[in-house]
Amino acid sequence: GAVVSQHPSRVICKSGTSVKIECRSLDFQATTMFWYRQFPKKSLMLMATSNEGSKATYEQGVEKDKFLINHASLTLSTLTVTSAHPEDSSFYICSARGGFDGYTFGSGTRLTVV
């Protein structure tokens, strides 16, 4: 079946630093990937949609300069949290369009900013 690998699964970074999260489709090409943020005990909120070879589309209220998205190939999208602050601590999940059931989710990344 379709697999989306998300790395790292957990990361702790210092306030003010940047951290990159990778989302990779392992056995299919994903022209479109989505990035979600999930607060504790809350639902998934779409942050942005990334299309291979073009600029990402950000949802209202999401700072595009803070959350940099790059989708340089058909199998890889990255989310970089720049100048991270404690309020950026959250669970981030990617989803790729493709695979058997149409969309496949990564296993998520727990970001803690200290």
Partner 1 sequence: AQTVTQSQPEMSVQEAETVTLSCTYDTSESDYYLFWYKQPPSRQMILVIRQEAYKQQNATENRFSVNFQKAAKSFSLKISDSQLGDAAMYFCAYRSIDNYGQNFVFGPGTRLSVLP
Q: Which listed residue (31, 70, 89, 112) binds partner 1 by CB under 8 A?
A: 31
Contact 23, 93 (CB under 8 A): no
Question: Do the Cβ atoms of 32 and 94 come closer than 8 Å?
Answer: no
Q: How many residues bind partner 1 (CB under 8 A)?
A: 23
Residue closer to partner 1 by CB (options 31, 82) is 31
Interaction between residue 67 and partner 1 (CB under 8 A): no
7, 20, 66, 97: which one binds partner 1 (CB under 8 A): 97
Residues at the site binding partner 1, with contacts judged by CB under 8 A: 31-32, 34, 38, 41-46, 49, 51, 91, 93, 95, 97, 101-103, 105, 107-108, 110
